Amino acid sequence: MGYNLLKGKKGIIFGALDANSIAWKTAERVHEEGGEFVLTNAPIAMRMGALNTLAEQTGSEIVPADATSIEDLENLVEKAQEILGGKLDFVLHSIGMSVNVRKGRAYTDQNYAWTEKGWDVSAVSFHKTMQTLYKKDAMNEWGSIVGLTYMAAQRVFPDYNDMADNKAFLESIARSFGYHFGKEKNVRVNTISQSPTPTTAGQGVKGFDGFIAFAEKMSPLGNATAQDCADYTVTLFSDLTKRVTMQNLYNDGGFSNTGVSREVMDAFVKDQE
């Protein structure tokens, strides 16, 4: 159900791959709320995914961009403004990748060339995107930029590997750039720390199914879905959250503030019987 929360707003959505992606669900919700956007992803991801379907469904154009390339980002920001007819009101950064995870290298045995690649794609690309927007003065006043993160930035989840470091860096960039973007342009920058979500990217993490089940048992409201995240992102893109900035916002059913739950305790007690 739409409330027209984003009527007249324009933006860029990074990272939609397939119907499981948080970015995909967010694009659908933004469209329902009256927002218009350009979709973008790296050319290799576009070959793997089904972005054309989403573009047709939401009446959007696609501008391919490697988010680690300043040249690609400059082209993207210019083209998006041409296509949408003006400055931008919202940007979603929904990108993350670890070559070490993908190729099964342990945290204690990293290939550092892969580490740097993952760090560039997952975190530095957020800075590069914002710096490009900032230098081109491409955001409208009271615009909103959102990055997606995970609680491994604060706590240890051993198999999340070097992605944990990438997310910690991403959150720091959101705070630091959020200050400058707020001070100079009245633009807000936040990250959403989402429950483990069965996206194509998420499922690459070792032991992911067990992990989702554990988080579900720990969270009083259960895990937040990709759809829940899309809804939350819409509120952050809307004018209802004008003074929320430099925050890392947990959308996780209460997981982040739960020490232990009855269900988890019961599972351990059963094991000891």
Enumerate the active-site residues.
Answer: 150, 160
Question: According to the annotation, is 15 in a ligand binding site?
Answer: yes
Question: According to the annotation, is 183 in a ligand binding site?
Answer: no
Beta-carbon count within 10 A of 210 CB: 10
Mapping DSSP onto H, E and C, the string for the chain reads: CCCCCCCCCEEEEECCCCCCCHHHHHHHHHHHCCCEEEEECCHHHHHHCCHHHHHHHHCCEECCCCCCCHHHHHHHHHHHHHHHCCCEEEEEECCCCCHHHHCCCCHHHCCHHHHHHHHHHHHHHHHHHHHHHHHCCCEEEEEEEEEEECHHHCCCCHHHCCHHHHHHHHHHHHHHHHHHHHHHHCCEEEEEEECCCCCCCHHHCCCHHHHHHHHHHHCCCCCCCHHHHHHHHHHHHCHHHCCCCCCEEEECCCHHHCCCCHHHHHHHHHHHC
Question: According to the annotation, is 21 in a ligand binding site?
Answer: yes
How far apart are alpha carbons 206 and 201 in whole angstroms? 11
Query: What's the maximum distance between 2 C-alpha atoms anywhere in the chain?
Result: 66
CB 72 within 8 A of CB 45: no
Q: Show binding-site residues.
A: 15, 21-22, 95, 167
Name the binding residues for NAD(+).
15, 21-22, 95, 167
